[in-house]
Structure 1
Amino acid sequence: MLRRSRKPVVLAANKVDDQRTEAEAASMWNLGLGQPWPVSAIHGRGTGDLLDAIVEVLPQTSAVAEEPVGGPRRVAIVGKPNVGKSSLLNRLVGAQRSVVSDISGTTVDPVDELVEVGGEVYRFIDTAGLRKRVKEASGHEYYASLRTATAIERAEVCVAVIDASEEVSEQDLRILSMVEDAGRALVIAFNKWDLTDEERRRYLDREIERDLVQFQWADHVNISALTGRNVVKLRAAIDTALEGWETRVSTGKLNAFLGRLVAAHPHPLRGGKQPRILFGTQAQAGPPTFVLFTTGDLDAGYVRFVERRLREDFGFRGTPVQVEVRPRAKRS
C-alpha cells in the first residue's frame, strides 16, 4: 500500500535502545522502503536524525490549500462530549452528516458542512468534545483536542453547546474561556431544552448569573437539536456576534469617549501618583483590540471598567474585547 501511494516513506525502526540492537534494525532494508532509521521513542535516541530525514523529503510548498479569503462565514460548534453538537449540525443540514451516539467521543475529526440558515450560507465545523485540557489529554483525545483548538482558530464565531438538562460544569467554562482567549465571537446554545422542566430552568438561570457572569456579552439561545426548537434563531445570534466582532471605532470617537470617561471616573491614586490615559486607538477588529497609551500602569480593575464602558457605548455584542495598556517610557 505504501509503494502504491507513490508518497515519500521514512522508515523508523523503534526500540533500538543501544548500539547492540542497531544491527537488528539493518534487517529492515529487506522491506524495500529505503534506509531504516534506528530510534528509541522512550529515550529519544536517534530522533534528531529521523527528523532530518523527514524534513529532507517534505515538499517545498504544501499540497493542502490555505483557508480561502472570503466565502461563507466560518462557524465552529464546540462543547464537551455528548451535549448534542453533531445532532445540532445534522438538524441544520437536514441530513445525517455526523455520527450521533449516546457514547461520548463519537466525533474525533472536525467535520465541515456548508449550511443555509434563514437564507444565509455558513460553513459549520462540528468538533470533537473536549473532556480535558489539551496538555492533560492522551492518545486520540490529545490529537482531537489539538484539531478542535485549530478549528476554533479557523472559525470567526463559535457556537458553544451546553447541556441545559445538566449543571453548568467546569469543563463548559473552560471551553468558553478557550473561545474568548482565541479572540473569537461567541454564541452560547443551551441544548436539550426539551428535557428541562420549570425547576431545572430556574436553577439554570441561577447558574448563568453565578457562573457565566464573565460571558454576559455573549447571546444565549435555548434550543433542542432533537426537535428543532429555536435552531433557526441561531442565525440572528451569529450575525449579531459577527457584527460586534468586526466593529471599528474611529480614533476621534474613541478619544472623545476616553476624555469623558477619565473626566468622570479618573484612575485612583496609587503611591501618590495617578496614571492618566493620554490617548487610545483601535489596533484591529476581529476581535476589537484597543491600545491605551498612558503615563503609567493601570489597575486591572480599571482596565475592566474601561472595557465595560466600551461595550456600553459601542456595543460589541457577542465578541470579546481586548484592551492593551502601553505605559509611557520613563525618562532616564
Structure 2
Amino acid sequence: MTGEWEDEGGWTDLPELDEAGGEAPSQAPGGALPVVAVVGRPNVGKSTLVNRIIGRREAVVEDVPGVTRDRVTYEASWGGRDFTLVDTGGWDPDATGMAARIAEQARVAVELADVILFVVDATVGVTDADEAVARVLQRCGKPVILAANKVDDQRTELEAHALWSLGLGEPRPVSALHGRSSGDLLDAVLEALPQAPPRSEGGSGPRRVALVGRPNVGKSSLLNRLAGEERVLVDPMAGTTRDPVDELIELGGTTWRFVDTAGIRRRDRELKGADFYAAMRTRGAIERSEVAIVLIDASQPLTEQDLRIISMVSESGRCMVLAFNKWDLVDDERRYYLEKEIDRQLVRVPWALRVNISAKTGRHVDRLVPAIEKALASWSTRVPTARLNAFLNELVAATPPPVRGGKQPKILFATQAAAEPPKFVLFTSGFLEETYRRFIERRIREEFGFEGSPIFINMKIRERRSSAKSGRRR
C-alpha cells in the first residue's frame, strides 16, 4: 500500500458495504420546556389537533375511539415559543379494564403538565364524561384551555357556546381537521404557558434510545422497569403500544430519552389503518435515535421478525444492544439452543452487544446503561488516518487482496470519512471482493473496537485513462 494515490484518472465511487439509511439523529434541545397536555374523552379529535399543532402527521389517527393509548410527547413551537405537547388516550372517568388504565395515563399527564388543553366535540355537546373530566380539571389548580373541536362553520360555532356550562371559561372554537381558528387557540395556550427557562449553551440534550422489537416482547415492561413506575401501558394483548412514547429517565447519573415503540410485524404491506402508521412511526423513531435496544424473547426461538428488525437497525447506522428478555423463563436446554441460534442466525451482527435481562423481575437490567454507553463511545470513535493506514499496510502485506481479472488490486490509501456511524473510504486500484471487505471490517473491529456500532466501508476505485487519450494529451 502506498500514499501515492494521485493519478491522471478519476475515482469511481462504489456502493458501501452496507447502506446506512436515514440522517444523523436529531438531538433533543437542552433545558426543560413547558408542557401542554391534550386531554378529553375518546374520539373527540385530540390526536388530529396534535398533528395540526406540530404541523405534521405524527400522532396516529383513525376514525375509531381508543387509538391513542399512552402519553405521547412531541416538540411544538408557536409564536417563537417552544413547548412540549403531550397527546393522551381517551379519558373516561367511568371506564373499566384497559380503558381505565388509559384514563389513568391521562390523569398522570395532567399532574405533570403546566397547561391543560381540554378538547370537547362541539357537535355532540356536553356529555356526562365531559362533565366528570371538567370537575377533575377544576380542582387541578392549573390553567385549562377549553377547545371546542369540530367547529367547521359559523352554525357550529354558535353551538360551541353551550360548553360554557362546563365551568372552565370561554370555549375556544377550532377545527383540528381543517385548521380553522387553530392559531387563535395556540395564542391562548401561549398566554397561559409559564416562561420557559433559558436553554444551556451548547446543550445537546439527552441521548435518544429506541426500544424496538416484535409485538409483546416486553418493550413497555422494560421502560416501566427502568423508570421505576408505570409510565406506559402493559397488557398481554400484543400491539398495546401504537405511538412511539418518549420518556426522560435518569439512570446512572445521566438523563436518557427512552422511546417505547410499536411492535414491528412481519409483513407491513398487510397492515392497515393505525397499525400501518404505527409501523411507520417506529421506523422514524429508530432514525431519530442514536441507540436501539432490540428486545428478543429469549424463551422462544428467534423469528424472521427478530432478524428483520435487527437488519433494519443495522442498516440505519444506529448503535445496537440486543436485550434477550424473559431470561427468567429460560432453562438450560433453551439456553443451549439459543446459543446455537445466535451463532447461526446473527452471524452478520457479531458486533452487537448482548445483555440477558428480565424486565419482569429486574434481572440484569442495570447492565443496559453500561452497554449503551459502550456502544455510543464506539459510534463516536475516530481512527487517525496515519494509524489506520499503518494498520492496513501490515494487514495487506500479510493477507493481500485476491486476484481479480488477472490483476491484484491494491489499497492505495484509506481514511475515516465520518463518525456516528463510522464510515471508512478505501482508495483502491481495483475492485475488492465483498469477502475481502468483510475481512477488513472484521480486522478493523479487532484492532480498534467499535463494539455495539455498525461500520460502513466504501471504495473509490482509480480509473486509468487509455494510452491513446494519454498520448493525445501529451
Shared fold, TM over 0.5: yes
Look up the match of 2:339.
Answer: 205
Asked whether 1:146 is paired with 2:280, we answer yes
**Whole-angstrom distance in 2 between the partners of 1:69 and 1:296:** 45
Contact 1:134 1:146 in 2 (8 A): no
CA distance in 2, matches of 1:182, 1:301: 22
Distance 2:410 2:320 in 1: 32
| 2:353 aligned to which of 219, 222, 227 | 219
Confirm or deny that 1:98 pairs with 2:232. Answer: yes
Q: Which aligned pairs between 1:1-332 and structure 2 lie closer than 5 A?
A: 32=153, 70-332=204-466
Over 3 Å counting, the alpha-carbon distance change for 1:182 and 1:110 in structure 2 is same
Q: Which amino acid aligns with 1:232?
A: D
Q: Structure 1: give runs of 5+ residues left out of the alignment.
A: 9-30, 34-53, 60-67
Q: How high is the TM-score relative to the length of structure 2?
A: 0.56
Give the letter aligned to residue 411 of structure 2.
I
Letter in 2 for 1:275: P
* Structure (1 or 2) with the greater helix fraction: 1
- Residues 158-187 of structure 1: CA distance to partner in whole angstroms, max 9, x if unpaired? 000000110011100100000000000000
User: CA–CA distance in 1 between the matches of 2:367 and 2:452?
Assistant: 15
Q: 1:134 to 1:324 in 2, by over 3 A?
A: farther
Whole-Å Cα distance in 2 between the matches of residues 270 and 182 of structure 1? 31
Q: CA-to-partner distance for each residue in 1:284-325, whole Å, 9 max, x for gaps?
A: 001110011111111011110110010000000000010001
Alpha-carbon distance in 1 for matches of 2:369, 2:271: 33
Q: Secondary structure at the match of 1:291?
A: strand
In 2, distance between residues paired with 1:143 and 1:314? 40
Give deviations 1:59-83, integer Å, cap 9, x for gaps: 9xxxxxxxx9611111000000000
Distance (whole Å) between structure 1 residues aligned to residue 267 and residue 229 of structure 2: 32
What is the aligned-residue identity percentage? 58
1:119 CA displacement:
2.1
The structural deviation recorded for 1:133 is 4.5
Counterpart CA distance in 2 for 1:233 and 1:157 is 15
SS at 1:114 equivalent = strand
Name the Cα RMSD after superposition.
Answer: 2.4
Q: Does the aligned pair in 2 maintain the 1:275–1:297 contact within 8 Å? A: yes
8 Å contact kept, 2:216–2:238: yes
The separation in 2 between residues aligned to 1:296 and 1:102, in whole angstroms, is 55
The range that moved more, 134-143 or 155-164, is: 134-143
- Asked if 1 retains the 8 angstrom alpha-carbon contact of 2:266 and 2:304, the reply is no
What's the offset of the Cα at 1:330? 3.1
Q: Distance in 2 between matches of 1:107 and 1:221?
A: 23
| One-letter amino acid matched to 1:130 | I
Secondary structure of the 2:413 match is: strand
State whether residues 213 and 296 of structure 2, in contact with CA within 8 Å, keep that contact through their aligned partners in structure 1.
yes
Residue 270 (structure 1) shift: 1.4
> Relative contact order: is structure 1 or structure 2 higher (C-alpha 8 Å, sep ≥ 6)?
2
Q: Is this contact kept in 2: 1:155–1:184, CA < 8 A?
A: yes
Gaps of 5+ in 2: 1-43, 54-151, 155-177, 184-201, 467-474
CA 1:305–1:192 in structure 2 vs 1: closer, same or farther (change >3 Å)? same
Amino acid at match of 2:265: R
What is the TM-score normalised by the length of structure 1?
A: 0.79
After superposition, give the CA deviation of every residue in 1:88-137 in whole Å (9 maximum; x if it has no partner).
Answer: 00000011111101111100000011112222221100000001344443
Q: Which aligned runs of 4 or more in structure 1 are off by greater than 6 angstroms?
A: none
The letter for the 2-side match of 1:286 is: E
Give the count of matched residue pairs.
279
1:166 to 1:150, Cα distance in 2 relative to 1, 3 A: same
Partner of 1:42: none
Q: Which residue number corresponds to residue 48 of structure 1? A: none
Cα deviations by residue, 1:22-70 (Å, 9 ceiling, x for unpaired): xxxxxxxxx649xxxxxxxxxxxxxxxxxxxx9xxxx9xxxxxxxx961
Judged with a 3 Å threshold, the aligned counterparts in structure 2 of structure 1 residues 307 and 169 are, in CA distance, closer, same or farther, namely same
